[in-house]
Structure 1
Amino acid sequence: MIRKLNHKKEQVSKDIYHVFQASYKIEAKLLQVKFQDFPPLKRTVNEFQDSTTNFYGFWKASKLAAVIEIDKVNNITDICSLVVHPLFFRQGIAKKLLEFAVELYNSEIIIVETGLANKPAIILYEKFGFVLQGKYMTSIGIEKVKFSFHKTH
């Protein structure tokens, strides 16, 4: 079940934080980055609470299994984060959250970024119909890729 998360509440932000920590530790390993150097792992519970983005959670067996973080600016929807707790990997949850976001946000363009070495995410986005827009190097030496999905009405 997918539902909007009230990240302004401390316990909800803590739940989001725990899923992000578990998931991004796996991505940091894929990208061969030290945990302490990986920006997503530096986010605090307070930063989640103060965020202006929207968070939606996928619940499985009464546990928060995954979170998608979305920001919409004008007619572009930005998937800021899509994280699945490792206990729930390879169950199609990320795909369900992508489908949910595409349906919910009436944007012509949806964008998402990930690390170049995060092959599972890249495969997911490409299978879903996202198209590679470019690659770039971050200031901390992580090569990233940017994808876009153009919705047809």
Structure 2
Amino acid sequence: MIKKLTHQNRTTSEDIRAVFQISYAVEAELLQATDFPPLKRPLEAFTNSDNQFFGYYMKDELAAVMEIDKKTASVHIQSLVVQPKYFRKGIGRKLVAHAFEQYQTPLFTVETGLANEPATQLYLQMGFSKVLEYDTEYGIRKVRFEKVCSD
């Protein structure tokens, strides 16, 4: 079940951060990143964020979180994290589909580490196109995807 999360609530924010930490630890390893900024994100960055958060629950457990940055003419999927024990269950796909249903926008964007093949495959399967590769100041090669939506 997908629910909009009230991330301003400290307990909810702690739950969100916990899923981010466990998921991004796996991604950091996959990317062979020794300095991975998402793992340094403090609790207050969740609690005070202007972004929207959606959670996917398995029974009563927060299994995945999608963070959305809604802009005037686009929607950016800022983060999409799934607890490792729930990998390969279609949860990421369901959250991306939920974003498509929730937001009427001409453009969706998302980024991931280039070596994150599962995320790359998900975005390509969901209709995104690769538009850019670049290196971060932390030595991580990233890829940007876009999905242009027609009326």
Task: Please give the TM-score of this superposition, normalised by the length of structure 1.
Answer: 0.97
Indicate whether 1:102 and 2:107 are aligned. no
Q: State how 1:37-76 maps to structure 2 within 5 Å.
A: 37-76=35-74
Displacement, 1:44? 1.3
Give a deviation string over 1:62-120, Cα, whole Å, max 9, x none: 10000000011111100000000111110000000000001101111000000000000
Displacement, 1:152? 2.2
Distance in 1 of aligned mates of 2:15 and 2:51: 16
What residue ranges of structure 2 are gaps of 5+ in the alignment?
none
Displacement, 1:151? 1.4
Distance in 1 of aligned mates of 2:99 and 2:26: 23
Distance in 2 of aligned mates of 1:152 and 1:84: 29
Q: State how 1:4-153 maps to structure 2 within 5 Å.
A: 4-34=4-34, 37-153=35-151
C-alpha RMSD of the superposition: 0.6
Distance in 1 of aligned mates of 2:41 and 2:21: 9
Distance in 1 of aligned mates of 2:2 and 2:89: 15
Task: Please give the TM-score of this superposition, normalised by the length of structure 2.
Answer: 0.98
Distance in 2 of aligned mates of 1:27 and 1:120: 10
Distance in 2 of aligned mates of 1:72 and 1:7: 16
Please identify runs of 4+ aligned residues in structure 1 that moved more than 3 A.
none
Distance in 1 of aligned mates of 2:150 and 2:58: 31
Structure 1 SS opposite 2:115: coil
Structure 1 SS opposite 2:62: strand
Displacement, 1:122? 0.2
Distance in 1 of aligned mates of 2:144 and 2:124: 11
Structure 2 SS opposite 1:69: strand
Structure 2 SS opposite 1:67: strand
Identity of aligned residues (%): 48
